[in-house]
């Protein structure tokens, strides 16, 4: 580790932490960058092969960083400053202790993932980073083989998405599915059908089957489609799917938050890893 006390908050080295938008980060440095927050997320990204560019942290966290991941950082610069200066720089308190600017890696082609998987989650228009992170965490923990996000979804490497996922965005295969050329707000499910997946749309329709439907549970290859909080999946997307699926509710409730619903769906329809 190469610890640097940085007094110039306008230093170009600190731009990833303050002066670049999400889109600019994705385009930075050729491959693109993202910001990982917290030690466990950074460790997961390092284990997945992402290369660190620099870290930003408070002085009191440096010994913990050194002990936890110092051996994986080599000579990566670790910038530090007074707590109030760090808050001015980033716009928030570093409650998770550390940020790390990291290089992106090329994603696998969606068709390659579809060839190798039996249970996948597919997201359309899910743009809340915390929902995206929670869905990835549930997918990784509850028996899904991969997560495919439509091109109109939040970036899974968004700082909050990756943090809420507890590093799951680096632990489960993922790829991007295109949206339809005739409707850029709707994902194209034709690749799923070509790959032999039964498509199940999470939707509150009169024809929806309960989440424990045996036909879905026994499908050789199953894709569970989830839409944005509130509006849900596009009506045309639901109509194209083989089935709609819902979670039976009690006490007059009609639905769950999409992240909570994903956990129930994945538990029932994923590949069980244990007894």
Cβ-based neighbour number of residue 104 at 10 Å = 18
What pLDDT is recorded for position 96? 67
What pLDDT is recorded for position 35? 95
Q: pLDDT tens-digit profile of 89-129?
A: 888 777 668 999 999 999 999 999 999 999 999 999 999 99
CA of 258: how far to CAs of 136, 228, 263, in Å?
12, 7, 9
Q: pLDDT tens-digit profile of 56-82?
A: 999 899 999 999 999 999 899 999 988
Give the integer Cα–Cα distance in Å for 194 and 20: 39
Give the pTM: 0.93
**All domains of the chain, ordered by start, with CATH?**
2-103 (3.30.1330.30), 110-269 (3.40.1280.10)
Q: What's the CA angle centered on 48, arms 52 and 43, to 5 degrees?
A: 60
What pLDDT is recorded for position 160? 93
Q: Is the pLDDT of residue 51 over 80?
A: yes
What pLDDT is recorded for position 241? 97
What pLDDT is recorded for position 273? 54
Residues of the chain above pLDDT 70, percent = 97
What pLDDT is recorded for position 20? 82
For range 5-23, the mean pLDDT: 86
Q: pLDDT tens-digit profile of 129-187?
A: 999 999 999 999 999 999 999 999 999 999 999 999 999 999 999 999 999 888 888 89
- Check if the beta carbon of residue 129 is closer than 8 Å to that of residue 135: no
Q: Is the pLDDT of residue 30 over 80?
A: no
What pLDDT is recorded for position 275? 45
CA distance from start to end of the chain = 43
| Distance, C-alpha 12 to centroid of its chain | 28
For range 16-22, the mean pLDDT: 85
- Check if the beta carbon of residue 236 is closer than 8 Å to that of residue 273: no
Q: Is the pLDDT of residue 211 over 60?
A: yes
Q: Is the pLDDT of residue 85 over 50?
A: yes
Q: Is the pLDDT of residue 29 over 80?
A: no
DSSP 70-114: HHHHTT-EEEE--HHHHHHHHSS--TTSEEEEEE--PPPPHHHHH
Cβ-based neighbour number of residue 255 at 10 Å = 16
What pLDDT is recorded for position 19? 76
Q: Is the pLDDT of residue 246 over 90?
A: yes
Higher pLDDT, 224 or 9: 224
């Amino acid at each position: 580790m190469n610890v640097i006390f940085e007094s110039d908050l306008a230093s170009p080295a600190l731009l990833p932490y303050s002066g670049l938008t999400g889109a600019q980060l994705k385009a930075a440095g050729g491959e693109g960058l993202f910001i990982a927050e917290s030690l466990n997320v950074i460790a997961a990204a390092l284990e997945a092969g992402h290369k660190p560019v620099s870290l930003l942290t408070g002085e009191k966290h440096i010994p913990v960083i050194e002990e936890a991941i110092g051996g994986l950082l080599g000579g990566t610069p670790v910038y530090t400053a007074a707590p109030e200066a760090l808050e001015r720089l980033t716009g928030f308190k570093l409650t998770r202790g550390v940020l790390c600017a990291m290089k992106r890696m090329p994603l696998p082609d969606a068709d390659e993932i579809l060839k190798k998987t039996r249970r996948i989650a597919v997201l359309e228009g899910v743009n809340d980073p915390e929902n995206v992170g929670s869905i990835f965490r549930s997918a990784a923990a509850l028996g899904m083989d991969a997560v495919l996000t439509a091109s109109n979804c939040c970036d899974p490497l968004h700082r909050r998405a990756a943090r809420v996922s507890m590093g799951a965005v680096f632990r489960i295969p993922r790829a991007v599915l295109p949206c339809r050329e005739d409707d850029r707000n709707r994902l194209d499910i034709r690749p799923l059908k070509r790959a032999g997946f039964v498509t199940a749309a999470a939707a509150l329709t009169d024809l929806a089957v309960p989440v424990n439907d045996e036909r879905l549970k026994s499908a050789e290859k199953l894709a569970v489609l989830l839409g944005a909080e509130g509006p849900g999946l596009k009506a045309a997307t639901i109509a194209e799917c083989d089935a709609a699926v819902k979670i039976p509710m009690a006490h007059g409730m009609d639905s769950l938050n999409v992240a909570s619903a994903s956990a129930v769906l994945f538990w029932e329809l994923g590949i069980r890893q244990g007894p």
